[in-house]
Structure 1
Amino acid sequence: MDQLAIVILNYNGQSYLERFLPSVLAHADGFPVYVADNASTDNSVALLRDRFPEVHLLQLTRNDGYAGGYNAALQQIKARFYILLNSDVEVTPGWIWPVLNLLEHTPRMAACQPKIRSYDRRSHFEYAGAAGGFIDWLGFAFCRGRLFDTLEEDYGQYDDDRPVFWATGACLFVRADVFHQTGGFDELFFAHMEEIDWCWRVQRLGYEVWTCGQSVVYHVGGGTLPKTNPQKTYLNYRNSLMMLYKNLPSDRLFDTLLLRLVVDGLSSARFLLTGQWRDIGAILRAHFAFYGRLRDLRLRRRQLPAQTEATHLPVYTCSIIWDYFAKGRKTFAALNWSAKSVRWPS
């Protein structure tokens, strides 16, 4: 069994493999690199065979998204730790060791991420993960270094190592036994927010999720599905509702979901003002898709393990939307962190 395996999930990402796989191989530090191909229809597989024979190629028979693709791939890889790495990430010398050392010396740490900077604006954080993620009490995700579309410059303010609520799937170090113990990602999500759902579930078991400030990678972002694509809007809205329904404690479930439905409706006004009709349609589709999956979600909710008494989930008790848009708090440090993190018992 390997100590660590680097696993890249690919779907029609030939251009990204050509651009970024050389940096991964150059800085793999002797650890094996796998590419799990999600039934690509471009020339990704031929490229890997011809130009990167040192890469271990896993060919999956269909595209089951991020969640299903990684679940299938990691079943075939024996290692103590995995790095789940997007194909559009440029790694840096020594990027593995600070995170791996944290994992090895923190037994209750199930997952960890490095700092994620923007590939195109290299002094600034990137949208998908930045320096570690949180959610507010309505389930809206945000990061140290990124609130909505405001991306902070990285001047060392997040160079610490600390627990967070979620770590990004763009570059996610995970403890293999915990990943398999929890059944991996929920394949209902297909793509987007499945890592947040998984991080929530592992914390229910008493594990921790961290960010490591001493490791840096650069992420293009939106490589498979651009941020402006209505399909991304659909997945984000649908999956956020599914995540809340699965994981919220019973005494918070109805009120929180009702408020989310109202807020999601109001948020469509932003798309209305800019004429983004397809995004409005995506929000409507997301809600109906959520209702259509309630039977499956109820089953998953009943199967969740009881939350341990020692678990304190770092949930922001205020509204990130209100803080950002009404109070003008545009950075993580400006948020009202005097409101202490809360525990959500089951």
Structure 2
Amino acid sequence: MEKICTIIVTYNPNLTDFSTVLDSHTQTGDNEVIVVDNGSHNNAEILKIVNAKKISIISLQENMGIGYAQNIGIKSAKIKGGKYIILFDQDTIVTPNYAESILEYYKEISKDEKVATIGPNYYDAKTNEVYPQIVLNGIKLNKIFPKPEHGNFTFVSFIIASGSFYDIDIFDEVGVMDEKLFIDCVDIEWCFRAFKKGYKTYVCNKLMISHTIGDQRKKSLGREISIHAPIRKYYMARNNILLIRKNSIPVSYKIRKLFGIPLYMSLYLYDVGFAKEYVKFIFNGLKDGIIGKDGKYEKYRK
């Protein structure tokens, strides 16, 4: 039997919500669930929940970033004999038999295409809002909403990592996640890197899972935005600039970001009332991106 390993990365999760997430994964048809805890303050409580459900866990001593944790999970899945893996964040709730369903979709699309990864559509359980998928068209990032009536698959330029499905051998050719980005843009960078090697990313139009982007959402200037913690805006500002420096990123995407980053960050500062903490983190992120500094934010480095 072809073994599927689900990798869930945690960092200070809400314990009640996390327990519910784990319960959803026990109904997905996964052969094995692997939790990688990224140095959570509530690791002892996480261990109790995971052990009670007889799920594997790898506890890191400190937060090493999403890419590092995902790579630890991928390595563990290889050791355990996993043929396929599915990556998840700690807040993503899946439908029953998700793993079995996405495996069948992967087998279908991979008959005719070189597949990097496939993933589902996403909605916010709090608002029931369906998130758009993204296709790079010249310097435009077109938002699309794949629906079941559009067929089984839709090509996209990149997908959110949570819920994404991979043949584990793909990492031997494309490489694993870029740990130096720490968090944010890790999934974007990997999908573009795979595309440069001839592999495509797809959305399974008929799969939908619950996923939350940002700590909260608000409307501003006629649009709805995700509000993140100030430190996350550091990584977003920095990593978008770091992507411009990478050879694997399409030139049109680089041009888009080169002109779009100052506007986006300015609008975001307006959205948060130019709060001092946001100004500081965004400025530091832009500065570090320009000079090419990567990894964990300097304040937290030992």
SS of match in other structure, 1:171: coil
Q: Give the deviation of 1:99 after TM superposition.
A: 2.3
For 1:105 and 1:236, locate their aligned partners in 2 and report how far apart those are by CA, in whole Å: 35
Matching of residues 1-346 of structure 1 within 5 Å: 2-13=2-13, 14-25=15-26, 27-42=27-42, 43-49=45-51, 51-53=52-54, 55-78=55-78, 79-107=82-110, 108-122=114-128, 124-125=129-130, 130=131, 132-135=133-136, 143-145=143-145, 160-222=152-214, 227-247=227-247, 258-260=258-260, 262-264=262-264, 266-267=266-267, 270-271=270-271, 274-293=273-292
Q: Which consecutive residues of structure 2, in runs of 5 or more, have no partner in the other structure?
A: 217-225, 296-302
Q: Which moved more, 1:84-93 or 1:200-209?
A: 84-93
What is the rounded CA distance, in whole Å, between the counterparts of 1:109 and 1:12 in structure 2? 33
Deviation digits for residues 146-203 of structure 1, max 9, x if unmatched?
Answer: xxxxxxxx97576641211001112211221112433211111111110000000000
Contact 1:200 1:247 in 2 (8 A): no
Alignment length (residue pairs): 277
Q: How far did 1:143 drift?
A: 4.2
Q: Distance in 1 between matches of 2:197 and 2:11?
A: 32
Q: Which runs of 4+ in 1 moved over 4 A?
A: 135-138, 140-143, 154-160, 248-258
* Contact 2:215/2:229, CA 8 A, preserved across alignment: no
Please report how far the alpha carbon of residue 216 of structure 1 lies from its aligned counterpart in structure 2 after TM superposition. Answer: 1.5
Following TM superposition, by how much is the alpha carbon of 1:209 offset from its aligned partner in structure 2, in angstroms?
0.3
For 1:255 and 1:245, how far apart are their aligned partners in 2? Answer: 11
2:56 counterpart letter in structure 1: H
Kindly provide the CA deviation profile for residues 110-138 of structure 1, in whole angstroms up to 9, marking residues without a partner as x.
1011111111133x31xxxx353334655
Over residues 219-278 of structure 1, what are the superposed CA-to-partner deviations in whole Å (9 max), with x where a residue is unaligned?
Answer: 233469x83311222211211111122146797798666534653565466347x34333
SS in 1 for 2:204: strand
Alpha-carbon separation, structure 2, partners of 1:83 and 1:253: 27
Note the alpha carbon deviations across 1:60-117, whole angstroms, 9 max, x for none: 3332111111112211212221100111111112323342123223331110111111
Could you say which structure has the higher strand fraction? 2
Structure 2 distance, partners of 1:116, 1:161, is 15
If the length of structure 2 is used for normalisation, what is the TM-score? 0.79
Q: Is the 8 A contact 1:17 1:88 kept in 2?
A: yes
Counterpart position of 1:314: none
Distance in 2 between residues matched to 1:181 and 1:38, nearest whole Å: 26
Distance change >3 Å, CA 30–CA 71, structure 1 → 2:
closer
Q: Describe the superposition over 1:259-304 as per-residue Cα deviations: whole angstroms up to 9, x where unpaired.
A: 34653565466347x34333232221111111232699xxxxxxxx
What RMSD in Å do the two structures reach over aligned CA positions? 3.1
Preserved CA contact (<8 Å) 1:109 1:209: yes
Identity across aligned pairs (percent)?
18
Distance 2:107 2:77 in 1: 19
Change (3 A) 1:258 1:168: closer
Deviates more, 1:158-167 or 1:104-113: 158-167
Alpha-carbon separation, structure 1, partners of 2:76 and 2:238: 30
1:131–1:213 contact (8 Å) kept in structure 2:
no
